[in-house]
Amino acid sequence: MSKERFALVIIDISHERLDRPFEYRVPESLLDAVSEGAEVRIPFGKGNKERRGYVVGLKDEPSFDRDKIKDILGIVESSVGIESRMLRLAVWMKKRYGGTLVGAMRTVLPVKDKVKAKVYRCISRKVSIEQLNEEAGRLNPVRFSARIRLLKAVSEVEEMPLEFATDKLNVSKAVIATAVKQGLISLREDTEYRNPVAEKNTRYDRRAELNDEQQAAVDAILKEAEAERKPVLIEGITGSGKTEVYIEAIAKTVESGKQAIVLIPEIALTFQTLMRFYARFKDRVSVLHSKLSEGEKYDQFVRAEKGELDVIIGPRSALFIPFNKLGMVVIDEEHESSYKSQNMPKYHAREVAEELCRMSGAQLVLGSATPSMEASYNAECGQYLKLKLNKRYGEARLPKVTIADMREELKAGNKSFFSRVLAEKITERLVKGEQIMLFINRRGRAGFVSCRSCGHVIKCPHCDVSLSEHTGGRLLCHYCGYAAVMPKNCPECSSKYIAGFRAGTEKIEEEIAKAYPSARVIRMDGDTTKQKDAHEKILQTFAAGDADIMVGTQMIVKGHDFPNVTLVGAIAADMSLNAADYHATERTFSLLAQAAGRAGRGDRPGEVVIQTYKPEHYSIQAAAAQDYEYFYKMEKAFREMADYPPFTHMMALQYFSADQKAAFERAENAASAIKDKAGDTAEVMGPFQASIAKIRDIYRVVVYIRSRNEEALTQAKDIAEKLQDENRDSGKKEVTLQTDRDPVSTL
């Protein structure tokens, strides 16, 4: 006897209350056909009206009385379509990252509600210009003035939007309808897709002649796409032509009738990059970004579904564009933290792309000058195929990098923010009329505590991350909760220069104004870019040469080419090394390596000054030498020793509640349940108060789970979620849970 199967079915994917799917029995005849994501016909409600639904799960035991469960009627054969594939992806995401299925579905499926496609209507003449003028001449100019205005206007232009006639010419719709009836004009309706690229500069054609290294990379990608389809990782220094390689590989994919998705971190999506894609793919490529309206975004999904697009470019959400024949996914700047979603489900685009490619038989291509530890490690283990681009295209040379040891500066009596060497070079550039970028690396939000005399940073004895300063002189570890008192003197060298480091962009701007009163300074950071378009305006001002110095956070380092910038200064290069987060070193390295790649992209050679209290640290040394391999080797050894990813995996359970005690209690219960059931494969840490203990009166409590076994983390997550469900049912105080797999920032 074959065993029974039950299917979880969702009726209407745009409906709100569908977190709990309905259960149906899978009849024996359909056992082979019904799988997750399948579209099925089912009897629904009291009248057993036939409806369609999607299978979002299968199980052997029903949760209800067997007698009350109805049978699935049949399967909708044509449902191999894109919607069911996206649903399967949502199911996978829910399993891996937690949260509700509906939440995952909302992430994966486009918002269909409200936004209608805009209809474009235009008027054109149906008879000759002479006939129109003749007709206008016959009409009484007083009684028919509107009709005359219309006919004159139509005789002057080939085509006129309907709104122009009604709004600008003040011609009523009735008048237009009459003219149509008389056969003088015609009214054409078009569903006009809002194309987000205003300047459709697709006339010029551009095709790069690849150099040998680039061509070899393209060949290797295409070969892999025909074979095992392992993800390909391109490690290529800035300017080595990674984008040219993507474009060529995509062009071949498109030629074979398939489509491609290109992910680019929003901040790095420059006009030049876009135009390179447009020049090659014309109106078969489109873009998604956060500045598009919901309507414009939705239009791109419709165009994709209809087969009007071959290539889409966008941030991580572009992964969910409904391509029927997906052939390739490219993730540029693969190491960027913006590929991790900070909302539930907290998915990582790299992982989702891997799954999507597996499901659709597509090839994944990752690219970076400084690949993430995860990607490099996967390549080392043979799960990814690694390709290298070592040459900068053309004669572009790497800039000269100087490391300024700030401890020496203090010894020499220089207490300012600027080292002598940086100050000197700034003056030089100002005299020559060249531009300067100064950035302060402020990733570590909470102020770490360091000694300005010897560079010593106070760290947690248990976690090897820096402690951060809280009110009342308390120092806290955000990983394990370890607390200490702020010392009066440096524990290393006994100097009294120990304090929380608090320099910000504003402070730097002030100091620059003092030191170089004649220099024109422009600042770019979270504060100055709040307004829409502010970001572009600042960049334009700088590009136009209307400022000499741009001061900013790391956002100024990414993706912009200013040929007149010949000096880049990193003010507190090691600041981010001290963030209470195991990604800190990796971020510092990649940021500095990118900054070094910024200077001197024009014909003039560039220079970079890295100011640091830790000149000997491998992340600083490797960035200055643009030596990724050295960085990877050192960081890998550290991660392995400290039991951090990619050698282990982590799951953060983040509890939120207005009631601090309730949040701790729930977290405590989860922690002990996980210890009970998975304690031998997973290490449970916490619960702890989050580094920001309360936001808007909502308390935040965290539990960290760490394991070498990924399954153990999924299990831990399931235990915590089950506990949530049980407590929801019993109506206890509201404590919400968010699960974060391999978190990129600490809570």
Which residues would be at the binding site for ligand ADP (CB under 6 A)?
208-211, 214, 236, 238-244, 393
Q: How far is the CB of 214 from ligand ADP (least distance, A)?
A: 6
In this complex, which beta carbon is closest to ligand ADP, that of residue 196 or of residue 241?
241
Asked if 702 touches Zn ion (CB under 5 A), the answer is no
How many Å apart are CA 61 and CA 107, to the nearest integer? 29
69 binds, among ligand ADP, Zn ion, none (CB under 5 to 8 A by kind): none
610 binds, among Zn ion, ligand ADP, none (CB under 5 to 8 A by kind): none
Helix (H, G, I), strand (E, B) or coil at 563: coil
Among 462, 728, 732, 733, binds Zn ion (CB under 5 A): 462
Q: How far is the CB of 233 from ligand ADP (least distance, A)?
A: 14
Asked if 443 touches Zn ion (CB under 5 A), the answer is no
Q: How far is the CB of 612 from Zn ion (least distance, A)?
A: 15
242 binds, among ligand ADP, Zn ion, none (CB under 5 to 8 A by kind): ligand ADP
| C-beta contacts of 107-114 below 8 A and 24+ residues apart | 107/317, 107/320, 107/341, 107/345, 107/347, 108/320, 109/13, 109/83, 109/320, 110/297, 110/298, 110/301, 110/320, 110/322, 111/294, 111/297, 111/298, 112/14, 112/298, 113/14, 114/294
240 binds, among ligand ADP, Zn ion, none (CB under 5 to 8 A by kind): ligand ADP
Structure tokens at 428: 């030089």
Q: How far is the CB of 372 from Zn ion (least distance, A)?
A: 24
The end-to-end CA distance of the chain, in Å, is 52
Helix (H, G, I), strand (E, B) or coil at 174: helix
In this complex, which beta carbon is closest to Zn ion, that of residue 506 or of residue 616?
616
**Contact assessment for residue 678 and residue 715, using Cβ atoms and an 8 Å cutoff:** yes
Give the ranges where 461-583 is alpha helix by DSSP (H): 505-515, 534-543
DSSP code per residue over 333-389: TTT-GGGB-SSSS--BHHHHHHHHHHHHT-EEEEEESS--HHHHHHHHTTSSEEEEE
135 binds, among Zn ion, ligand ADP, none (CB under 5 to 8 A by kind): none
Asked if 463 touches Zn ion (CB under 5 A), the answer is yes
In this complex, which beta carbon is closest to ligand ADP, that of residue 238 or of residue 300?
238
Asked if 708 touches Zn ion (CB under 5 A), the answer is no
Among 105, 460, 720, 735, binds Zn ion (CB under 5 A): 460
* Phi and psi angles of residue 544, each rounded to the nearest 5 degrees, phi first: -80, -5
Residues 102-161 that bind Zn ion (CB under 5 A): none
In this complex, which beta carbon is closest to ligand ADP, that of residue 239 or of residue 322?
239
In this complex, which beta carbon is closest to ligand ADP, that of residue 88 or of residue 242?
242
Helix (H, G, I), strand (E, B) or coil at 653: strand
Helix (H, G, I), strand (E, B) or coil at 656: strand
How many Å apart are CA 219 and CA 200, to the nearest integer? 31
493 binds, among ligand ADP, Zn ion, none (CB under 5 to 8 A by kind): Zn ion
In this complex, which beta carbon is closest to ligand ADP, that of residue 178 or of residue 270?
270
In this complex, which beta carbon is closest to ligand ADP, that of residue 76 or of residue 268?
268
Torsion angle, CA of 74/79/80/86, rounded to 10 degrees? -120
In this complex, which beta carbon is closest to ligand ADP, that of residue 169 or of residue 208?
208
In this complex, which beta carbon is closest to Zn ion, that of residue 13 or of residue 705?
705
Specify the DSSP element, H or E, that contains 286: strand 285-287
Q: How far is the CB of 690 from Zn ion (least distance, A)?
A: 14
> 145-156 vs 129-138: helix axis angle to the nearest 10?
170
In this complex, which beta carbon is closest to ligand ADP, that of residue 20 or of residue 206?
206
What count of other Cβ atoms lies within 10 Å of the Cβ of residue 228? 8
* Phi and psi angles of residue 259, each rounded to the nearest 5 degrees, phi first: -120, 165
What count of other Cβ atoms lies within 10 Å of the Cβ of residue 234? 27
211 binds, among Zn ion, ligand ADP, none (CB under 5 to 8 A by kind): ligand ADP
How many Å apart are CA 507 and CA 513, to the nearest integer? 10
Among 11, 187, 208, 480, binds Zn ion (CB under 5 A): 480
Residue 522: beta bridge partners?
A: 550
Structure tokens at 706: 């760490």
Asked if 670 touches Zn ion (CB under 5 A), the answer is no
**Contact assessment for residue 497 and residue 490, using Cβ atoms and an 8 Å cutoff:** yes
115 binds, among Zn ion, ligand ADP, none (CB under 5 to 8 A by kind): none
In this complex, which beta carbon is closest to Zn ion, that of residue 7 or of residue 490?
490
Among 242, 456, 558, 560, binds Zn ion (CB under 5 A): 456
Among 246, 479, 582, 631, binds Zn ion (CB under 5 A): 479
482 binds, among Zn ion, ligand ADP, none (CB under 5 to 8 A by kind): Zn ion
Q: How far is the CB of 595 from ligand ADP (least distance, A)?
A: 14
Which residues in this chain contact Zn ion in the complex, by CB under 5 A?
Answer: 451, 453-454, 456, 460, 462-463, 477, 479-480, 482, 490, 492-493, 495
